[in-house]
Structures are given as structure tokens and as C-alpha cells.
Amino acid sequence: MTLNEYQEAALSFRKPEADELYALLQVCGEAGELYSHVAKAIRDGVEDPYAYEMNIKKELGDILWALAAVAKDHGWELDEVGTVNIAKLTDRKNRGVLRGSGDDR
């Protein structure tokens, strides 16, 4: 499955009230849920590694859904977003600035 195929399939589940603001806020909300799973694993340990991994995968999927929606709201396909990101990382690697801070390094 390509990113664009995922985006099309995932957004077929989008409800009308899941508007542009909802999708944007959902990125943060789902990331928070991911952090919560990890924090609880640090605090309590992991009794069932398979269940823990599945929960992490599910949260990553929820984040991906929200990213797909935000991209769509801006008229972008996920393949395009991914291509831009790889180009940025490649440029940083070629210039030896993968480490460091700032968007424009």
C-alpha cells in the first residue's frame, strides 16, 4: 500500500464533523496518547510485549490518519509530503547537518 492509497482509504472513514481544525488538533491528541502508553510502560513495566506493541502501532496509525487528513485539507497527497521530507533529510545529510536544531539548518 502506498501512502496515497492509505490516505484515500483512511479518509473514507472521515466524518463530516471531523473538519480541518479537528484533524489538526487530533495530531497532537493522538501523539499524547502514544506518549501516555510509553510513560505507563516506563512506570509500570510491560507485562505483555505483544499487546504493548499493538497499542503503539494503533496509536501510530491514529497519528497517520490525522496527518493524512491535515495533508488532504491542504490539498496534498501523503506521497508528496513524504517526498518533500526525504528531500529535506537528504539535503541535511549531504551538508552534514542532520544533528542540530532549527528548521533551516
Residue 54 backbone dihedrals phi, psi, to 5 degrees: -65, -40
pLDDT of 72: 98
Determine the structural domain holding residue 35 and report its residue range.
17-94
Q: How many CB atoms sit inside 10 A of residue 56's CB?
A: 14
8 Å CB contact between 78 and 67: yes
Low-confidence spans in the chain with pLDDT less than 70:
none
In a domain, 69, yes or no: yes
8 Å CB contact between 37 and 52: yes
In a domain, 28, yes or no: yes
pLDDT of 70: 98
Domains of the chain: total: 1
In a domain, 88, yes or no: yes
The pTM (predicted TM-score) of the whole model is 0.89
In a domain, 75, yes or no: yes
In a domain, 2, yes or no: no
8 Å CB contact between 65 and 10: yes
Residue 81, domain CATH: 1.10.287.1080
